[in-house]
Amino acid sequence: MKTIYLVSTIYLLIAGNTTYFMGKSLNKHGEHFLTSIFKGRMEIVLPVNKILLIGFYLVNIGFVLLFLTARLEVFTLLSGIEFLAFKLGVIYLVIAAMHFFNILVFILIENKFKTQTSKK
């Protein structure tokens, strides 16, 4: 069995599990965050949270699969570890960037709600 197949399988298992558990965690804790933002509109908190979860999974799974392509041969244990570290490091940075972008967007939405409420 070629080493690249083993390394790619490990990559998919780790990246897939990370995406799944991060999505569940963000969904669970994000509901509290959304509740504080949409104070007067509780009926949209759960649907928005579910849409965010679906979007998170689609973007991350798509990125994991696109990033799966191997441009180099993995012959040794060390090159396999380096390959996994690079691929997983990029995946984690993308997840973190998406998370901070979403927080920024919702902070802007919250500020907009506050200014609209204060004008009334």
pLDDT along the chain (120 residues), means of 10: 82 93 91 82 88 92 85 79 90 90 87 74
Length of the chain in residues, anyone? 120
pTM reported for the whole predicted model: 0.79
pLDDT at 1: 59
Report CA-CA distances (Å) from 30 to 15, 64, 110. Answer: 21, 23, 14
pLDDT at 4: 79
Cα–Cα distance between 102 and 120 in angstroms, integer?
27
Q: Which amino acid is at 49?
A: N
How many other CB atoms sit within 10 Å of the CB of residue 88?
A: 17
